[in-house]
Structure formats: structure tokens, C-alpha cells
Amino acid sequence: MTIKTILIVDDEASIREMLVMALEVMTDYQCLEAGDAQTAHGLVIDYNPDLILLDWMMPGISGIELARRLKRDAATAEIPIIMLTARSEESNKVQGLEAGADDYMTKPFSMRELIARVKAVLRRTTPVGMEEAVEVAGLRLDPVSHRVSSFDEALEVGPTEFRLLQFFMTHQERAFTRNQLLDQVWGGGVYIEDRTVDVHIRRLRKALGAKHEHLIQTVRGTGYRFSTYD
């Protein structure tokens, strides 16, 4: 399982299938699919993909309009987008880039070039240090392989709990309020209740088990911290 998740948004199922097959066979990325902008937006909020392959021309809300919406929202603005389109004019490319796309590919294109572009955009947009493994008291989190282990024993951790744990392990010994955790892990502008944090904390502690659940500490009147001290 890899931390790199690619959301493919295209109203043509055959194109989505072709892209999924190429990406999953030629790389270790995992793919999500959406046939329209509304479904895509829901997947972005739920899964926070690492990159979006976005078709320009779709019925209803177009790809370029979806790109604009995602870039306007602080919660999704940092997700890189590669626009896919049959429009080859320079003015169209400029329009796509101005809408917030990080790259632009004209159909038809080779899968090898597409994958090279995906890898290049991901390299540019991955924050320094976010791919480094971190280990604390026998608990190890590896962002590249998206694995968490306890003394070399694999743990099953959900995607939101993984992001929460990664944030905690890279910000040890600091107390964070629920709102701060929502901003840092879910992203600013996400309208969910702060008690949602409590639900995911419980899930994370359960996933960590008896050996490491104590590392996630409740700070009365404040929120939570990750600490090796009692």
C-alpha cells in the first residue's frame, strides 16, 4: 500500500479504466475514480488524494471549474492537479494553468509520459521531510510505504488516523486543541464538528493497541498531545 493516491476524474469510463490500469501496473500508486465533478469533490474531501488527473470537458460542472473551486478552498488548495484535455491551443493551456492546474496534457498522450509528469509534479509538491519515516518507542510510521508498525508488527491504521498519527509523531510533546488538529490534519475550511477529532483519536488509540495507545495523551481543558512521558 502506498501513500500516493491518484484521483482520476473523467466522464468516460473507458478512459478512467485505461488510466487506472496504467498507473497500477506501471507504478505503486493507488487510484480513485470519479465520473463527475460532484463525486470527485466528495472523494477529495474523504480521501485527500496526493494528485488529481482531471478531464477538462465534463457534463455539468467542468473540470476547469472544479479546479478553480479546489484551489479556492484552503483545505484542498495544495492538492496538485494535472489537466487532461483534447484542447491543444496555447490559450487553453494558459487558461488551465491560471485555474490552478500544476500541469497540462493534451489528448492523446502516452502513458509513459503521463506517469513521468505525475512523478515530476509529486516531487515538486511533496513538502520536505514529509516522506521521511519516523520512529518513537518502537512505533514506526513510513509515509512512503504508508505503513505503521509496532516493534516490526504491522498495524491496521485508517487514512485519517494515519495523517493524524503522522502529524503527532512529527510534532511531539506539544498540546494541540481540537480546532488546531482539524486545521492541520483535515485542513482549514473543512466544516466538521471538533468532536470528530475525539472519534478519530479513539480509533487511533485502538489501532495502536496496548503497547502504544498511551502515547496519545488527553490534555484536560486543551485537547491532545503525543508524548513518551507520563
Tell me how many degrees the CA angle 23-14-123 measures, rounded to the nearest 5. Answer: 25
Q: What is the pLDDT of residue 1?
A: 38
pLDDT tens column, 7-48: 999 999 999 999 999 888 888 788 999 999 999 999 998 888
Mean pLDDT for 114-138 is 79
Residues of the chain with CATH 3.40.50.2300: 5-125
CA distance 177 to 191: 16
Question: Measured at the alpha carbon of residue 52, what is the angle toward residues 47 and 53, in degrees to the nearest 5?
Answer: 140
Comma-separated ranges of CATH 1.10.10.10 domains in the chain: 134-226
Total-model pTM: 0.56
Please, is 104 exposed, middle or buried when counting C-beta atoms within 10 Å of its C-beta (0-12, 13-18, 19+)? buried
Contact between 165 and 187 under an 8 Å Cβ cutoff? The reply is: no
CB 22 within 8 A of CB 47: no
CATH number of 134-226: 1.10.10.10
Instruction: Return the amino acid letter for 203.
Output: R
Q: In what order do the strands lie in the sheet with 51-55?
A: 30-34, 5-9, 51-55, 81-85, 103-106
Q: Strand 139-142 vs strand 134-136: parallel, antiparallel, or unpaired?
A: antiparallel
pLDDT single digits (tens) 58-72: 888 999 999 999 988
- The CATH architecture of the domain made up of 5-125 is 3-Layer(aba) Sandwich (3.40)
In the prediction, which pLDDT does 188 show? 53
